[in-house]
Structure 1
Amino acid sequence: MMLQAHLFSLCLLILYLTTGYGQEGKFSGPLKPMKLSIFEGQEPSQIIFQFKVNSPAVSFELTGETDNTFKIEPDGLLYLIKPLDRETRSIYNLQVAALDAHGAIVEGPVPVTIEVKDINDNRPTFLQPKYEGSVRQNSRPGSQELDPTKNPSYSLVVSVKDMGGQTENSFSDSTSVDITVMENIWKAPQPVEIVENSTDPHPIRITQVQWNDPGAQYSLFEKEKRPTFPFSIDQEGYIYVTQPLDREEKDSYVFYALAKDEHGKPLSYPLEIRVKVKDINDNPPTCPSKVTVFEVQENEILGSNIGTLSARDMDEENTVNSILEYRIVAQTPQIPMDGLFLVQTYSGVFQLAKRSLKKQDTPHYNLTVQVSDKDFKTLCAVQINVIDINDQIPIFRKSDYGNLTIPENTKIGSIILTIQATDADEPFTGSSKILYRITQGDSEGRLGVDTDPHTNAGYVTVKKPLDFETAAVSNIIFKAENPEPLVPGVAYNASSFAKFTLIVTNVNEAPVFSQYVFQARVSEDVATGTKVGNVTAKDPEGLDIRYSLRGDTRGWLKIDPVTGEIFSAAPLDREAESVYRVKVVATEVGGSSLSAVSDFHLTLMDVNDNPPRLAKEYTGLFLCHPLSASGSLIFQATDDDWQSFRGPQFTFSLGSESLQKDWEVLKINGTHARLSTKHTNFEEGVYDIPIRINDGGRPPLEGTVSLPVTFCTCVEGRCFRPAARLPGIPAMGTAVGILLTTLLVIGIILAVVFIRMKTNKGKDNVQSARASEVQPLRS
């Protein structure tokens, strides 16, 4: 037995080594919880994992759901002792513990989960050896091609294959399926016709729909949302009309039938139901109006069409129910005879039948016309008015209205003359209405004639301004005519013409400029005295004109008073005013000295006459002292000259070559540049840096500006300037010198004062002593 155990361990070791299980970390490792996977169906003695522990552990113990399937060796080899079957058991929960030489647990137990991985070792099988089913034609997508009349049934063989049929190791099974094709009875019925205004009891069954299986719930719906829906359906699929229909109200209906299951879900597509309402003759003809009026001229020839009576019938068009017949049943008055008119039976066209009419016989006729269909008759009233023919021409009461004198400034719209003609045709008709037209003497259309609709008087009015200078005297000829054409054989003659002479008197008018605004363009650098433009004006009376300027606030211009030529009177400056606007006054010489005013706009074109300069005053530029690195400042230049659409294009350089070792200027864009230090060794103080700026114009102009830069101590990012550094206050050294000098002067003054005081005191003592010596003698 000992030998067999050693041989088995040796075999496991060889299998362990040859299968790669001896690789550290992949199939071996310390004792800890883990999850391992093993394919089902493997041969026994398959090594799963090797656990490793340290002393004093000398062996292992396996517990849990081993099912006599797993075993562990003293050296930690966990292996199978019989094949696994995932369909029988897919998960094994084990515990592994490490034991010492006395069998005591020194490490663990730890959980080890074995997951059995599936392999394809079971073939698919059908639950039945044979299946039967049915399908209805048109009941679902793809079934439209089925036709029970051609192929009522199908026998199919259905196969199933696992693993998607993609490998040679997949299994398969098959069975037979018998399918019966059934007719689909869910289909739209034929269109239905319903006679309108039926007197039969309602509801009336009109058609039926039927679902393929019992138990369906039926409903109707329409796309048109009408106040009433005169149809219903029962649960057997029968469709009813619920009330009488009126074809004249609606001649057809389209709605839909829907079948649903017990859950309210539609079983299939809706079926379209079409209902046509069949007409009956239930409407009498109607007249187009209470009285239909026609007109006929009194000289109308026989057979002429007078008009058409168009009666209506609400029944269906182009059927026997709506065919109408017309017949005249009465004529009033019967003068000069009855039957003067006839009407075509089916078209309603009226014609003159027997003779031409005369208005003096009667001005109008009243006819009664019977309009009938096959069941109904209606009487319509027709009135035929006899119209007078235009056989009379307009005649002026007088042919010459003499002379008419008016001033040329007469207001437009003024009535200057009334003319009158008469016409003997019937009043207030196109035959008697008079239109007046000027045929000669007014080619400019300055006059017009308006007709009074009640009296036919003609009012001659001013339509355009009159002008003495172009038309002082005009011989005007009028013609009076009718809007209706004259009958053949009648023509207008001299009686329809009249005349008068229009005399326009002169009125002194102000001069007129040829333009409302005069414009000119010159360069701003033109020499004084250069002609920059001219204006022109004319006086309607032909008087001479004198020109002058108004609003020349800058004194830049002067004008020739006779010719209107305008000259520069002083240097021009576009930068001061790019468009110079003044007023030009034209005054007539003599007469009333009337004047007119126009505008003169002089646009000044730019020349490059302004050197570049700084865009603003830079007084607060500073750099913090001491510099830790090179510093830089940005500044901007500008130019008072006009800039093109590209904007200014300045170039920048240092104004002194001696500064190039300390400073440099770099261009950023056409207007901005950067001033930078080249080192950090600058003292505190203010540096005035000269910058040369060139505008690149034609000709180019250059300007030198001074950019003050202060190097100062910074406090919280701001330049700190001690009082000693402020302008107007001396520096520290200077202040100390002044203070010492002041103290020295004060000391000298005090010394002199003390010396003098001492000297004076000595003199006083001598005098006192002498006085004391003399006093006794006096006493």
Structure 2
Amino acid sequence: MCQNFGDLHVSGPLKDMNFSIPEGGGMRFVYQFTSEPPAVSFRLTGEKDGIIDIVPKTGVLYLNGSLDWETKAMHRLQVESLDEKGNVVKGPYAVTIYVEDVNDNPPEFDQPKYTGVVRQNSRPGKPFMQVHATDRDDPTTPHAKLTYSILHHFPNPYSEMLFQIDSVTGEISPSKTGSYYLDPQKQDTFTLVVTVKDMAGMTINAFTSSADVIITVKESLWKAPPTIRIQENSTQVHPVNISQVQSNEQGVTYDLHEKEKLPRLPFSIDNDGIIYVTEPLDREEKDTYSFFVITKDNNGELVDKPLQIHVVVEDINDNPPVCQQDLTVIEVQENEGGGSSIGMVLATDMDEKDTLNSRLRFKIESQVPDRPASNMFFIQQDTGVLNLAGTSLKKQAASNYSLKVLVTDAAFQTICDVQVHVIDINDQIPIFEKSDYDNVTVAENVTVGTVILEIQATDGDEPDTGSSHIIYQVKEGDPNNVFIIETDPETNRGFVKINKALDFETAPVYNLVINATNPEPLVSSVQYNASSLTLFKVFVTNVDEPPAFREVAYNIEVSEDIPVNTLVVTVEAYDPEGDSVRYSLEGDVRKWLKIDSATGQIYTASPLDREQQEVYTVEVVASELSNNLQPSQKSKTAVLLRLRDVNDNPPRLVMDSPPFFCHPVSGGERAFLQATDDDQHWAYPKFTFSLVDDVNTRNNWEISKINATYAYLSPKHGNFEEKTYNVPVIIKDNGEPPLERTVNLEVSVCKCSSDNSCFIDLEREHSWPSAGQAIGILIGVLLIIGCIVGGVFIHMKCKQKDEKKSEEKDAKDRSELNRLH
């Protein structure tokens, strides 16, 4: 049993008891033990420490001072009851007093001042130092639960603190802002006032202590090295140490990451941050490399920002010059002046551009043949430009030269082959084999493309060159390019062809002057003369041709209401030979048109109707009349007559069947009416519906518009008999001028079947006839039988007469036949 402080006035018999009493508080009563005869007093022994005692006579257990948890957390005592002689009656019983801790001790830092070092760009949240404080109160209670915080930050140049502290462990680390902004060049020392509170900082009554933390900022160890330069094709044993990086933290793992995708990355890094090149590099394969170095902690998290490493591969002279072409071919005209630039020898070097390793020099090693001299050419040492040395080349001396050009750099040399072709100059003109090719006669209807003459000229210049190739042209006599001349490139033979259709009436004779030239210009000292000209005459014979119309077809648009005998178009044709032309029509199936045979004027012969045919097509035949006035050649052209619509058709109703209303009429019934018009409407056709203004119609019917083409007809009351009514409806269109029509619409009022359709009462048709009806029917039947019998009798009489006449005729015929015999 544990007795709390609030129950100190409780008393009871002697027994084992436990008490829990807060520390401090001074003198107080704890408990009163009651005695049982023969006991008259009590005795307390044990860990009284001068603070705990009992009143012998009354058995009151009390404190005569303050308990201290930090000095002693538990007191073990024994209580006995005694008789008058001092002998033990009961006991001893164990009495234990547990001292309850109260928060009476402030926390204390283990150092009055702390110092620490942080590196620039250190990882945010990564501790670089720690402060520590202790509290003498009970660690199992909130009294000793400590919380750390930064009270002040000197200086504090930013809106956020550059440092942060773990409230539980006291570890200090850079904040995100600090990781970014800490820079020893700007501020290398900071003072933090760090506080520690007990009671877990949850109450204002907690004790607080503080300490100064002096932090020195140093430059980051994590820096990218300067650009690393490695000479290509190194003969060192690889891998070779080329640089080193160091993280701001210890125990990290280093790794490389490619910036660009490569078949292989020829670099590596070890656990100390040393970067190696793993194999010899080739500048001509790749002259620069960029990659990243990263660091990770044991959890695989990035520690530092990735560092970009740049490597430049330095060139050595390890590539010889290369001729850009296996054979450089240069053409030079034989009249080219001495000193002229005739071409260029091109070579390349894969070593680094604009360095001595790639500087090239050119020199002519040999010239074959060496006539008329061995030094006919000169090459510019630094550019490879090839010049004629001093004199012009002569094709008669040599038509080709082979040169060996030596190309060198600082360590290598290469031979480039050059071939120089000497081109003959155009100093010979073409000469015709004939100065006059006489004449040729062709019909004017000869096919375009027909060859009418072959011509030939020769040229003494080098064959198969622009100096010897011949171009033939008609220089005079053909202003309209009726003729064309094509050249055989192998023989220089010319073929004069018909280029355009001939026309005897326009040009019966052509006097042609033909010249022969070269595509290559002649040298200045030579000119074309009469030897390069020839004459040729073409006679064109006449061929009778059909008349030709001035137009391929005639398109005319007229209104459909033009009067008869209106002139609609005049067609015109002419005969190339000058004969007279007569005109006629074909295909005028509707007989709408007529034509003046002499003038070609076409008139309307009857009224036109667009509704019958909107586009009317006929053919006009033009016939030439020869001197004997007999038609010979003919030609045709089409005349398309497009008819413009006029409003000449009144509107009409479109109905599948006459409307009807079921009897008796109850009201609200409607019949659907639709109007249409055969005329053409440029916009949507619009009709108006109305009823004839008479009393009967006005009292019985009404009409209402639905839209431009539809309306409803409705009865105005229900007092209609079963019969057919004639309802006059007026329909009017929107033409110019408008037309209207009155339609006498038959409207039935009838009994309807279950499906709302009119039906005929058939009851009488199925009833038995009356007596009078039966007698009438009998008399009718007898009359019909009598007529049939009479007809048969008359037919038999007629047949007998015919047979008798036939026999008489046969007898007469036999008698006549016997007489002839």
Structure 2 counterpart of 1:538:
574
Given the alignment, which residue of 510, 519, 528 partners 2:546?
510
What residue number does 2:669 align with? 631
The 10-residue stretch of structure 1 (150-159 or 543-552) with the greater mean CA deviation from structure 2: 150-159
Calculate the TM-score normalised by the size of structure 2: 0.68
Match among 133, 147, 169 for residue 127 of structure 1? 147
Does 1:703 pair with 2:734?
no
2: CA distance, partners of 1:147 / 1:240: 30
CA distance in 1, matches of 2:772, 2:739: 54
- Bigger Cα displacement from structure 2, 683-692 vs 405-414: 683-692
Q: By how many angstroms is 1:185 displaced?
A: 4.5
Identify which of 383, 387, 399 aligns with 1:347.
383
Matched, 1:497 2:533: yes
> Which blocks of at least 5 consecutive residues in structure 1 are unaligned?
1-124, 160-172, 750-779
Quote the Cα distance in structure 2 between the aligned partners of 1:421 and 1:137: 103
Q: Distance in 2 between matches of 1:362 and 1:514?
A: 67
2:551 counterpart SS class: coil
- The residue aligned with 1:254 is 290
Letter in 2 for 1:695: D
State the secondary structure of the residue aligned to 2:317. Answer: coil
Cα deviations by residue, 1:631-678 (Å, 9 ceiling, x for unpaired): 223321110000122x11111101353222232212222111122333
Would the alpha carbon gap of residues 578 and 319 (structure 1) be closer, same or farther in structure 2, given more than 3 Å must change? Answer: same
Q: Quick one: which amino acid aligns to residue 736 of structure 2?
A: R
In the alignment, what sits opposite 1:723?
Answer: 760
Shift in alpha-carbon separation, 1:356–1:261, aligned structure 2, 3 A: same
Cα distance in 2 for partners of 1:556, 1:368 equals 93
Q: Which moved more, 1:202-211 or 1:383-392?
A: 202-211
CA distance in 1, matches of 2:194, 2:577: 116
Conservation of the 8 A alpha-carbon contact between 1:137 and 1:144: no
SS, match of residue 660 in structure 1 = helix
Residue 218 of structure 1, CA deviation = 4.4
Quick one: distance in 2 between partners of 1:687 and 1:271?
Answer: 105
2:59 counterpart residue number? none
C-alpha spacing 1:226/1:130, structure 2 compared with 1 (3 Å)? closer
1:276 aligns with 2:312: yes
Aligned to 1:598: 637
CA separation of 1:566/1:337 partners in 2, compared to 1, >3 Å: closer, same or farther? Answer: same
Q: State the 1:141 CA deviation.
A: 6.6
Maintained 8 Å contact 1:622/1:719: no
2:319 aligned with 1:299, yes or no? no
Corresponding residue for residue 234 of structure 2: 198
Give CA deviations for 1:278-322 in whole Å, capped at 9, x if unaligned. Answer: 111111011122221112222222111111101111111111111
Change (3 A) 1:452 1:286: same
| Superposed counterparts of 1:376-525, under 5 Å | 376-525=412-561
- 2: CA distance between counterparts of 1:712 and 1:177? 117
> How far apart in 1 are the matches of 2:428 and 2:618?
66
Alignment pair present for 1:652 and 2:703: no
Q: What is the alpha-carbon distance in structure 2 between the residues aligned to residue 427 and residue 330 of structure 1?
A: 30
Distance 1:246 1:272 in 2: 21
- SS where residue 537 of structure 2 aligns? strand
1:612 is matched by which residue type in structure 2? P
1:180-209 CA-to-partner distances (Å, cap 9, x unmatched) read 656445454432222222222223333344
Deviations 1:195-249 (A, max 9, x none): 2222222233333445443454544444543333333344444433333222222
Residue 51 of structure 2: aligned partner = none
How far 1:434 sits from its partner (Å)? 1.2
**Is the Cα–Cα contact under 8 Å of residues 150 and 194 in structure 2 kept in the other structure?**
no
Match of 2:648 in 1: 609
8 Å CA contact 2:697, 2:728 repeated in 1: no
Is the contact between residue 630 and residue 680 of structure 1 (CA under 8 Å) also seen in structure 2?
A: no
- In structure 2, the CA distance between the partners of 1:660 and 1:402, relative to structure 1 (3 Å rule), is same
- Counterparts of 2:504 and 2:342, CA distance in 1: 56
Distance in 2 (CA, whole Å) between partners of 1:650 and 1:142 is: 88
Work out the CA distance in 2 between the residues paired with 1:444 and 1:719: 85
Cα 1:253/1:651, change in 2 over 3 Å: same
How many residues are paired up? 602
Residue 661 of structure 1 is matched in structure 2 by: 699
* Aligned pairs (5 A) from 1:228-247: 228-247=264-283
Counterpart secondary structure, 1:321: helix
Q: Tell me the distance in 1 between the aligned counterparts of 2:326 and 2:445.
A: 57
Contact 2:364 2:378 in 1 (8 A): yes
Letter in 2 for 1:239: I
Unaligned runs of 5+ in 2: 1-144, 154-161, 165-171, 196-207, 780-821
SS of the equivalent of 1:495 reads helix
Cα distance in structure 2, aligned partners of 1:745 and 1:321: 144
Question: Mapping of 1:3-18 within 5 angstroms?
Answer: none
Structure 1 position 152, deviation (Å): 2.6
Report the counterpart of residue 369 of structure 1 in structure 2: 405
SS of 1:500's equivalent in the other structure is: strand
**1:13-57 CA deviation, whole Å, 9 max, x = no partner?**
xxxxxxxxxxxxxxxxxxxxxxxxxxxxxxxxxxxxxxxxxxxxx
Contact 1:192 1:206 in 2 (8 A): yes
Q: Is contact 2:546-2:634 (8 Å) kept?
A: yes
Check conservation: 1:207, 1:238, Cα contact below 8 A: yes
Q: Deviations over 1:664-701 (max 9, x none)?
A: 21222211112233334444454443321011322221
Distance in structure 1 (CA, Å) of the matches to 2:616 and 2:719? 55
Alignment CA distance shift 1:482-1:216 (3 Å): same
Question: Measured at CA, do residues 138 and 149 of structure 1 come closer, stay the same or move farther in structure 2, by a change above 3 Å?
Answer: farther
Q: Using the alignment, how far apart are the partners of 1:333 and 1:515 within structure 2? A: 73
Selected match of 2:262 from 188, 201, 226? 226
Say whether the 8 Å CA contact 1:394–1:421 is kept in structure 2: yes
**Aligned equivalent of 1:642:** 680
Distance 2:296 2:721 in 1: 99
Gap change, CA 1:241 and 1:129, over 3 Å in 2 = closer
1:655 maps to amino acid:
V
Deviation string, structure 1 residues 104-140 (Cα, Å, up to 9, x no partner): xxxxxxxxxxxxxxxxxxxxx9932547974899995
The superposition leaves residues 235-275 of structure 1 with CA deviations (integer Å, 9 ceiling, x where unpaired) of 44443333322222222233334445555555565443322
Alignment check: 8 A CA contact 1:137 1:143 kept: no
C-alpha offsets along residues 476-507 of structure 1, whole Å, 9 cap, x if unaligned?
11111111111122111111111111111111
Contact 2:662–2:758 under 8 Å retained in 1 = no
Compared CA separation, residues 702 and 427, structure 1 to 2 (3 A): same
Query: In structure 2, how many angstroms separate the alpha carbons of the residues matched to 1:266 and 1:542?
Result: 105
Distance across 1 between alignment mates of 2:753 and 2:175: 91
Structure 1 residues 250 and 706: CA distance shift in structure 2, 3 A: farther
- Structure 2 vs 1, CA of residues 129 and 406 (structure 1 numbering), >3 Å: closer, same or farther? closer
Deviation at 1:400, TM superposition (A): 0.6
Q: What is the root-mean-square deviation of aligned Cα atoms in Å?
A: 3.3
The answer on whether the counterparts of 1:137 and 1:184 sit within 8 Å (CA) in structure 2 is no
In 2 relative to 1, CA 705–746 (structure 1 residues): closer, same or farther, beyond 3 Å? closer
- Letter of the aligned partner of 1:276 in structure 2? V
Q: Secondary structure at the match of 1:661?
A: helix
Cα distance between partner residues in 2 of 1:628 and 1:234: 107
Counterpart of 1:232 in 2: which secondary structure? strand
Query: Do residues 693 (structure 1) and 731 (structure 2) align?
Result: yes
What corresponds to 1:760 in structure 2?
Answer: none
Please report the TM-score for the alignment, with normalisation by the length of structure 1: 0.71
